[in-house]
Amino acid sequence: NRRLIPAIRESARGELVAVASRSLEAAKAYAEKWNIPLVFGSYEALLASDEVDVVYIPLPNHLHAEWSIKAMRAGKHVLCEKPFVLSLDEMDAVTAVSRETGMVITEAFMYRHHPQTKLVGELVRNGRIGSVTLVRGVFNFAFSSRDNIRLVPEWGGGCLWDVGIYPLSFAQYIMGGPPVRVSGEQWLGDTGVDEVFAGQMIYPNGAIAQITSSFCTPFHTFAEIIGTEGRITIERPFVGIEETTHFHLYPKNGQPEQIPIPPKPLYLGEVEDIHAAILDGAKPYLTLQETRSHVKTALALYQSARTGKTITLS
């Protein structure tokens, strides 16, 4: 929330008008901190307000589908945090309600909208590193406290759902679609959720993606795309992009290149995208079909980690 609020206020066509919490006291405290004019002591009250056109849902993972559906049925468009949902049944239900109501709903993968990610995709699609053979991605961090909703199994906890979904989605973006088979390994912590996850994904052309995520190692993000004519490395592929100014391209022949990153606030792109979808009728940059593939792939990786088997995606 603290990162999205400045992006909403910086956007040309949106306004932050309301906040809701399960208690009015908590909502008032948050509204005072962030100077938000309207306050609601329940989610239902916010959805009933005519002052609100779009809602952002950053709730625990297991509540995403329920409140996305309630919001759309109340006539609100939705920007929903990743992971979008926790099952394909939930995914299909959310998609059906979006079609039924005409409400826009999209997954809040902010890095996908950033110029760095789009520029990397253009370089790959323009053949600068030849045919992609391998994508590697990492997103690790360590908790400061074990009292964290990400460690609750019933709430969709686990590092793959929370941060591993970033390199998973990045691989899908670079590869142009979902994998055909996956294998996963996980280390379960004392609450029963994966606190370390490693996955491998095989794509229709034989290309491979390898992803790792963790809740118990120091912060580290990295992505690398290896092709037949070179490779691209990205130090900050998912978060903290504003803290760096370039990524690197290493051609097969010639000198390494520092590719400048066009500056843009990390969260602004996803806000502008949903505004364009609502106000202009534009197609959301991140489609529900792409989001369904994210969920399907994550579920297959978890199945592989539980069973010790390679899972083929239909």
CA dihedral of 256, 262, 267, 273, whole degrees rounded to 10: -110
CA separation for the pair 127, 123 (Å, rounded): 6
> What is the number of alpha carbons within 13 Å of residue 12 lying toward its C-beta?
5
CA–CA dist 34, 169 (Å, integer): 31
Q: The tokens of 308 are what?
A: 């010790």
Lay out the sheet containing 132-142: strands in order across.
Answer: 257-260, 246-251, 230-234, 216-227, 132-142, 208-214, 194-202, 181-188, 311-312
CA distance 152 to 61: 10
> Among 28, 33, 70, 82, which one carries the catalytic annotation?
82
Tokens representing 73 are 């049925």
Question: By three-state DSSP, how is residue 130 classified?
Answer: coil
φ/ψ (deg, to 5) at 149: -65, -20
Which residue type does 30 have?
Answer: Y
One DSSP character per residue, 100-157 reads: HH---EEEE-GGGGSHHHHHHHHHHHTTTT-SEEEEEEEEEEE-S-S--GGG-GGGT-
Note if 82 is an active site residue: yes
Catalytic residue ranges? 82
